[in-house]
Amino acid sequence: MPLSIRNQFPGTVKEVKLGAVMAEIIVQVGDNQFVSAITKDAAEDLALKAGDKVTVLVKSTSVMIQK
């Protein structure tokens, strides 16, 4: 089912770090590494682990620019 989220990039999970409430997920997308901070519950529900094929999602209003 398509999403209104404009930025959708396929990648591979490199690392999952769980905290008490939040989790940090590193995803390799081409030559770039994305850092994602989601809830620990979300990371556990998706059973995220290194090697998983995932899609990274970012709303366009969350994308800033430096020139």
Contacting residues toward a copy of itself, per CB under 8 A: 1-9, 17-25, 27, 29-32, 34-39, 41-43, 45-48, 52-67
Question: What is the closest distance, in whole angstroms, from the C-beta atom of residue 40 to a copy of itself in the complex?
Answer: 8
Do 26 and 15 meet the contact criterion of CB atoms below 8 Å apart? Answer: yes
Q: How far is the CB of 11 from a copy of itself (least distance, A)?
A: 9
Euclidean distance between CA atoms 20 and 35, whole angstroms: 18
Min separation Cβ 35 and a copy of itself, Å: 4
